[in-house]
Amino acid sequence: MLKNNSKTLLIIIALLITTSLQAAKKSLLTPLINQVESKVIDWRRHFHANPELSNREFETAKVIAEHLKSLGIEVQTGVAHTGVVGILKGGLPGKVVALRADMDALPVTEIVDLPFASKVKSTYAGQNVGVMHACGHDTHVAILMGVAEVLAQVRQTIPGTVKFIFQPAEEGAPEGEEGGAELMVKQGVLKSPDVDAIFGLHISSKTPVGVLSYRPGGIMASVDDFRIRVHGKQVHGSTPWNGVDPIVVSAQIINSLQTIVSRQMPLTKQAAVVTIGSIHGGVRSNIIPAEVELIGTIRALDSSMRKQIHRKIRQIATNVAASMDATVDIDIPMASSYPVTYNTPALVEHMLPTMRRQAGENNVVLIDAITGAEDFSFFAKEIPGFYFFLGGKPKNVKTKDAPAHHTPEFFIDESSMKLGVKTLSHMALDYLKN
């Protein structure tokens, strides 16, 4: 009887200590998060006004590295070209958790009327373009810089190590270059010290401020870009029978590709998409060109369907061209290829209580998988990972009226970022603690 009572007493004491530590951490982090919020907004505005394209994030990386060094965090630079990694060693032994933010902007010309709107111009794929943070990576960087500042101030209480990964080229490295999460993994970013789990978030312009959305298992699709070059025979436009018209061949290929998903994929299993986003060929109205180039994207939420789509694209393009005396060259992938972004179900279940404490029970929402893609998938392919969405839509804006990502009108409510700092900070500590 005495033995059982002693065991019960030990359990009660352990529970009391755990509860006290949780309360202490909560009260300790809250004022630190409040203090850093204005800095996070300022950082975001700086990055928004000074966006940089993939693998060219030199100034962004410099600002990040200087900030981490000022916090006494060990810093590695030049990872995967421009990436920055910070290592914060806690005062107690434990596991290693990584937190990731992507840094790159897009070749989009901003039209939002903001005092810190981007006016930056650059060159992309040989064209002069505007540059804009049209996907919210500026918020991701600012949030993670805020988390680093918060956790650095409580480092002595951290049971383990936090690795901050600021990643370049999430939107895809320029053609002919390596980059992004895939290159970071190749270069050992998840090693020395070995990372046990990784978390990442993405701002969402269509989700209300204050809401966190998630999904266990596959949350985002795989992506493969592709290029089809159709080779015909150049001829005067008045006598098409004397040549082979690659424009007509391309039109037939495009129409036929749309039957892959609509007629050949088991869509009750998972979603898939095949899109042609660019077609180029010819210089004037009365010349049938010798070549046309098609560029597109493939999205899939199932690996076997992904492989089948690749095979079908090659088969259709080759056979349609041959039937019209043309030939094709096919590149799949052309430049970027990401696997499905997969959230480890056990890790998701483990961290949901933390998310609910920070956002509120009703503000943590299970969502359907989406056909957007993320190269966070390369991290989560190696170790347990959890990727979720942070609401950034102003509450007075209807979802249908909120501008989409990758558009010149893209906009987020900056009040959303505080919840991002809170959630990532507590997820890191709770993971290490447990």
Assessment of whether the complete model's pTM goes beyond 0.85:
yes
pLDDT(335) > 90:
no
User: Residues 165, 85: contact at Cβ < 8 Å?
Assistant: yes
Name beta bridge partners: 280. 293
Q: Between β-strands 287-288 and 235-236, what pairing exists: parallel, antiparallel or unpaired?
A: antiparallel
Q: How many residues in the chain? A: 434
Q: Which residues contact 119 (CB under 8 A, 6 or more apart)?
A: 49
The per-residue pLDDT for range 268-306, each reduced to its tens digit, is 999 999 999 999 999 999 999 999 999 999 999 999 999
Selected catalytic residue, list 338, 342, 387, 431 = 338
Report all structural domains of the chain as residue ranges with CATH numbers, in order of start.
21-221+340-433 (3.40.630.10), 222-337 (3.30.70.360)
Taking residues 332-356, report their average pLDDT: 96
- The C-alpha atoms of residue 417 and residue 362 are separated, in whole angstroms, by 19
Annotated catalytic residue 342: no
Is 398 buried (19+), middle (13-18) or exposed (0-12) by CB count in 10 A? Answer: exposed
pLDDT(18) > 80:
no
Give me the pLDDT at residue 8, please. Answer: 53
pLDDT(25) > 80:
no
Annotated catalytic residue 338: yes
User: Residues 300, 249: contact at Cβ < 8 Å?
Assistant: no
Specify the higher pLDDT residue, 10 or 394.
Answer: 394
Where residue 7 falls among pLDDT bands split at 50, 70, 90?
low
pLDDT(133) > 90:
yes
pLDDT(12) > 50:
no
Pair of tokens at residue 22: 């949780």
The per-residue pLDDT for range 200-246, each reduced to its tens digit, is 999 999 999 999 999 999 999 999 999 999 999 999 999 999 999 99
pLDDT(34) > 80:
yes
Give me the pLDDT at residue 24, please. Answer: 44
Selected catalytic residue, list 59, 178, 291, 414 = 414
The per-residue pLDDT for range 62-79, each reduced to its tens digit, is 999 999 999 999 999 999
